[in-house]
Chains A and B, each alone.
Chain A
């Protein structure tokens, strides 16, 4: 066994090397100083290693063939500036640099350049990086200055489309890191809100921020997350959802392990609960850790209404989870193997609706489930107005016609529709998609072995879920390992006087749970 695994492991490493996608998040290096170094690398390394001191010619040479690069000279070629027109704010540029230079109002160069706006930089790499981040580099008399005038177009703060609430704040994150930080910062007015800036992607150099509240978040979690993000070796990441898949504990699981959200109010709630939040530049999604399976079933709406309603809705969501997983499978199992389980009064109507269908229940069910998935995917990709049409065409026309044509039974249409609706009750889109995918496994097992097949599938699912960890903390908390005190705020939404003071056990828990208990 062991040898077989090592062979597979070697093949994997070879494949990864061949594709250039070397994911080394498992191999954590202890010396973090050494790890930061590779990300400081730029393209300049590939051009010439000897280019160390920043000069105007070298900078121009490295940035050649860039359409948006602007190069201007002033004062009879004594002063040069280089910047990307697409990354700077033209008004600030005009006000701070261009007009003073044109009028040569820098009467005393050295004094002017001591202002904090001007940053003296000798290193060629850093100058290039600075220009790429939206700085203007100014070359004069052998010295180089970086002036931050960055500014670019951004999407305004709007309502989240994937996580809507009825009560409560409606703003959501956008793609700009600074805006997102400000959305969090203005909700946590405390100097204890700390941030760690990291960068991921050899080429993309995407900024990643780890945010936590000092004294509330567990230091080990912060350290662990930082190490993991630092050990990511990849060319580029495009979204937070990509990053979390790379740093997951269990990458072959269908379930999302990091909780992601677009809503600043949720992010702040998580921060207060002692969790650590990660922001990725160019992504409206943030991720929280440590997260548990039950986090994905929470919505801010639960807290914005009386606790009895909140608890009711939350229980409804867990019911929805079971309905999505089991209902269609149960129909298949009963209609294939266990007719005796249907009470006599119901048996007649089921038999009547199935009498015209020429297929076994499993074929019928899988067919309808796939149709529903097609409709859902089509609806998600199309513009809203056409999406509605697809819903009507799919739901009414195909459903009705399928029954009349004798392809499926009425009861199955109800069953499939109910389980599809139930799957959309789960607030997290990714979790809902995972559950819908897992459902097919349940249906297949039901078709193969009947009721016991469903229970086997459930067993496999539970063993998988309880075995998962998120940043080394158990994924199925607080049910297993059991922490009854945390049930008030995760399984149900208890009244505020009952919700445990302080942080849930999971925020404190590393090392898979046993540490805090000893």
Chain B
């Protein structure tokens, strides 16, 4: 049995600190897309494609702003409370199930993609099911503690991933501005498709719409800070990539960032990309767990009488089975792409929907002359 802590033993009363939240947001954003990000921006945005990240980041900020507005207008009520005050629960169930499906799917596909890449690059003899089982075990360990303990662990895990960025300084001698051109966004470009693909690197943040009952007031700045951190790290990596490789090289490399780290070597260690990619598992763990957690929250809201541990069991079991299904890297990537598109749809549609409901509620209250306390 999970020990209950918090005020009167109530888990929900635990509040997340903005600093922890910023790190959490930053950690759950960096997906595996980071490794192929320079290629993606080069492929779809052409020369100097790294600038496109700024535009995408603006879009993400608009998305976050919507979440912040919902928190402000809803006075800290959870989105389920807001929705179910107007729309009956049974109407929402199919949508909830869709969201849960997409989130569990995306989590297990990310997990499987990581395993495929790891297998391909470093460890051909890797037992896949054991690997998935370990991911699931870690997720279980995190999930059963609730969001508060999860965040505590993720903050420390993130501290292990961050030193990776410092390896970039090691590459500065090889960096050359000659490789840049003065032409912007030239080449075989497809802004819409590229925009969607780059946007997937920022995904994960949409789960924060479920944080409302667990956070302190004024937490919304953490969303922006977290997002800013990822934007800066993406920009830094793509910028260095564009000056380290030639444009053609980037286009032809599936994972340019991996190649980037292959060049690092210290006296007693070479090819640090292995370590970098291994420690990246922590970041993936964070993103997987936050999606699982989101699914668990929605499940818990749908049927409140069932214990959270049951939902964790269901979610992890389905995640495990889903991750076993794909048989090739191409398959996983295809699945992941479609699921990511769905997730982007959720990231935009859900806040817009909730905002609409909030506006109707506010207008209704104004007409009836009731305050927000009236139920």
A contact set with B: CB distance below 8 Å: 1-2, 5, 9, 249, 337-338, 340-343, 346, 448-452, 454-456, 458-460, 462-467, 469, 472, 474, 476, 479-482, 511-512, 514-515, 517-518
- In the complex, A337 Cα to B130 Cα: how many Å? 17
Indicate if B267 sits at the interface (CB-CB under 8 A): yes
Known A-B contacts A1-B309, A340-B270; the reply to A481 vs B14 at CB < 8 A is: no
B233 at interface (Cβ–Cβ under 8 A)?
Answer: no
Chain A residues near B1: list those with CB within 8 A.
5, 9
B15 near A480 with CB under 8 A, answer: no
Given contacts A1-B307, A512-B14, contact A343 B153 (CB under 8 A): no
* Contact B17–A517 (Cβ < 8 Å): yes
CB pair A1–B313 under 8 Å, yes or no, is: yes
Among the listed B14, B265, B281, B285, which residue makes an inter-chain contact with A514, where contact means beta carbons less than 8 Å apart? B14
- Contact residues, B28-79 vs A (CB, 8 A): none
How far is A243 from B156 in the complex, measured between Cα atoms in Å?
31
- Which of B17, B141, B270, B279 is within 8 Å of A342, CB to CB? B270
- A2 CB contacts on chain B under 8 angstroms: 307, 309-310
Task: Say whether A480 contacts B313, CB under 8 Å.
Answer: no
Q: How long is the Cα–Cα vector from A450 to B307 in the complex, in angstroms?
A: 37
Instruction: For the complex, give the distance between the alpha carbons of A168 and B270 in Å.
Output: 45
Contacts A338-B122, A463-B141, A518-B216; A451 near B6 (Cβ below 8 A): no
A466 pairs with B156, CB closer than 8 A: yes
Kindly list chain B residues whose C-beta atoms are within 8 Å of the C-beta of A482: 17, 19-20, 155
User: Which residues of the other chain, A, contact B13 by a CB distance below 8 angstroms?
Assistant: 514
Contact of B268 with A460 in the complex, beta carbons under 8 Å: no
Known: A2-B309, A481-B17, A482-B155. A343 touches B265 (CB 8 A): yes
Could you tell me if B138 and A518 are in contact, using CB atoms closer than 8 angstroms?
no
* Selected A-B contacts with CB under 8 Å, 24 pairs: A2-B309, A340-B271, A341-B271, A343-B265, A343-B268, A449-B126, A449-B131, A454-B278, A455-B282, A459-B285, A460-B138, A463-B153, A466-B149, A466-B152, A466-B155, A476-B152, A476-B156, A479-B155, A481-B17, A482-B17, A514-B7, A514-B148, A518-B15, A518-B216
The 5 closest A-B pairs by CB, nearest first: A466-B153, A466-B152, A480-B152, A480-B155, A451-B278
**Interchain CB contact (< 8 A) of B274 among A451, A480, A518:** A451
Bound-state CA distance A138–B15 (Å) is 62
If over half of A's interface residues share one DSSP class (helix, strand or loop), that class is named, otherwise mixed; here it is helix
Also in contact, A341 and B281, with CB within 8 A (given A9-B1, A480-B152): no
Determine the residue in chain B with the shortest Cβ distance to A477: B152
Q: Which of A1, A458, A463 has the most CB of B within 10 A?
A: A463
User: A340 vs B274: C-alpha distance in the bound complex, in angstroms?
Assistant: 9
> Which residues of the other chain, B, contact A456 by a CB distance below 8 angstroms?
134, 138, 281
Say which residue of B123, B149, B152, B270 sits within 8 Å of A341 (CB atoms).
Answer: B270
CA distance A305 to B236 in the complex (A): 42
CA gap between A517 and B16 in the complex, in Å: 9
In-complex Cβ contact of B152 among A340, A343, A467, A515 (8 A): A467
**Besides A1-B310, A456-B134, A514-B148, 18 other A-B contacts (C-beta < 8 A):** A1-B309, A1-B313, A2-B309, A338-B122, A341-B274, A342-B269, A451-B274, A451-B278, A458-B160, A459-B157, A462-B153, A463-B138, A464-B141, A466-B156, A480-B153, A480-B156, A514-B7, A517-B15
Q: How far is the CA of A451 from the CA of B130 in the complex (A)?
A: 15
A338 to B310, CA, bound (A): 40
Give the shortest distance, in Å, between A403 (CB) and chain B (any CB).
21
B138: A residues at CB distance < 8 A:
456, 459-460, 463
Q: Is B142 an interface residue (CB 8 A)?
A: yes
Query: Are B149 and A467 neighbours in the complex by a CB distance under 8 Å?
Result: yes
Produce 1/0 per residue, B243-272, CB < 8 A to A: 000000000000000000000010111111
Whether A481 pairs with B20 at a CB distance below 8 angstroms is yes
Determine the distance from Cα of A459 to Cα of B157 in the docked complex, in whole angstroms. 7
| B152 and A481 contacting across the interface, CB-CB below 8 Å | yes
B118 at interface by CB-CB < 8 Å: yes
State in angstroms the CA–CA spacing of A249 and B145 once bound together.
14
| B5, CB-defined interface residue at 8 Å | yes
Determine the distance from Cα of A511 to Cα of B157 in the docked complex, in whole angstroms: 23
Q: Does B275 contact A (CB under 8 A)?
A: yes
- Report A-chain residues with C-beta under 8 Å of the C-beta of B145: 463, 467
Closest residue of A by beta carbon distance from B159: A479
Partner of A463, one of B142, B216, B279, B309: B142
Interface string of B1-25 (1 = CB under 8 A from A): 1010111000001110101100000
CB pair A452–B281 under 8 Å, yes or no, is yes
CB of A331 to closest CB in B, whole Å: 11
User: Chain B contacts of A458 at CB under 8 A?
Assistant: 160
Complex CA gap A342/B275 in Å reads 12
Within the assembled complex, what's the spacing in Å between the Cα atoms of A474 and B309? 23
Give the CA-CA distance A16 to B131 in the complex, in Å. 37
Chain B residues contacting A454 (CB-CB under 8 Å) are: 278
Distance in Å: Cβ of B26 to nearest Cβ of chain A: 14
Residue of A nearest to B122 (CB): A338
Task: Given A2-B307, A338-B274, A512-B148, verify A452-B141 contact (CB < 8 Å).
Answer: no
C-alpha gap A474/B20 in the complex (Å): 14
CB distance from B211 to the nearest CB of A (A): 14
A511/B216 contact (C-beta < 8 A), A2-B310, A340-B271, A343-B270 known: no
Q: Which residues of A contact B282 (CB under 8 A)?
A: 455, 459
Most B-side CB within 10 Å, residue of A450, A452, A466, A518: A452
* Contacts known (A2-B307, A467-B145, A482-B20); A472 close to B5, Cβ less than 8 A: yes
Q: What residues on A are CB-neighbors of B307 within 8 Å? A: 1-2
**A474 & B274 in contact (Cβ 8 Å cutoff):** no
In this complex, what residue of A is CB-closest to B14? A514
CA distance A247 to B155 in the complex (A): 28
Q: Chain B: which residue is nearest A457 at the CB level?
A: B134
CB of B157, distance to nearest CB on chain A (Å)? 6
Q: CA A465 – CA B271 in complex, angstroms? A: 31
Nearest neighbor of B310 in chain A, beta-carbon distance = A1
Expressed in whole angstroms, the Cα–Cα distance for A482 and B20 within the complex equals 7
Query: Closest residue of chain A to B214, judged by CB?
Result: A514
Minimum distance in angstroms from B290 CB to a CB of chain A: 14
